[in-house]
Amino acid sequence: MTPYRFTFDGTPLTAVPGQTLAAALWAAGITSWRTTRHQRAPRGAFCFIGTCHDCLATVNGRPNQRACLLPVRPGDTVTTQEGTGHEPTRQATGRNTIQEGPGHEPAR
């Protein structure tokens, strides 16, 4: 079977047909493809069965895709997801921190 080609943050990678995005990234030695909303900490796949949502990635411009469930499709463009995935990225805003909405503050 011909491997599928896709890119991760611009780097060309391949996936076995039927392989999930998380498995394909992990096979390429990439264990982190997301940063958290508050600490900007690196995260990747944790549960690998779609439960923990730690593996969220932006796929073809669509954020919050669970990489451990999503089979790679030929030509997919995958990018590191920052924060909620709906915020402007650091590159886009030129700021070091991303403004959090009021909903992100703890209720205390």
Partner 1 sequence: MNPPADLAVVGAGPAGLAAAVTAADQGLSVTLLDAGERPGGQFHRHAAGEAHPDTRHGRRHYAPRARRLEEHRRTGRVRHLPAHHVWTVVPHPGPGGAAWTLHAVAGPDETPATVHARAVLLATGAYERQLPFPGWTLPGVLGAGGAQALLKSGPVLPGRRVVVAGSGPLLLAVAGSLAAAGVRVPAVVEAADYTAYARALPVLVRNPAKLTEGALHGGALLRHATRLLTRHAVTAAHGTTRVEAVTVTRLDRDWRPVPGTSRRVPCDVLAVGHGLVPQLELATGLGCATRRTPDDTPALVVDADQATTVPGVWAAGETAGVGGADLALTEGEIAADAIAHALCGTPRDPRRTAALTRRRARLRAFADAMAAAHRPGPGWTGWLDDTTEVCRCEEVTAGRVREAVTEYGAHDTRTVKLLTRAGMGWCQGRMCGQAVARLAGEPPAPDRRPLSCPVPLGHLAALHTGTGPADPTAPTTPTDLTNGGTP
Task: Tally Cβ neighbours within 10 Å of residue 69.
Answer: 14
β-pair type (42-43, 34-35): antiparallel
- Shortest separation between residue 83's beta carbon and partner 1, angstroms: 11
Three-state secondary structure string covering 1-40? CCCEEEEECCEEEEECCCCEHHHHHHHCCCCCCEECCCCC
- Shortest separation between residue 34's beta carbon and partner 1, angstroms: 9
- Does residue 78 interact with partner 1 by CB under 8 A? no
Sign of the C-alpha dihedral, residues 90, 94, 100, 101? negative
- Shortest separation between residue 27's beta carbon and partner 1, angstroms: 4
For partner 1, the binding residue among 5, 7, 11, 27 (CB under 8 A) is: 27
- Shortest separation between residue 82's beta carbon and partner 1, angstroms: 14
| Residues lying near partner 1 in the complex (CB under 8 A) | 1, 15-20, 22-23, 26-27, 31-32, 36-39, 41-54, 56, 62-65, 68-71, 73, 84, 86, 101, 103-104, 106-108
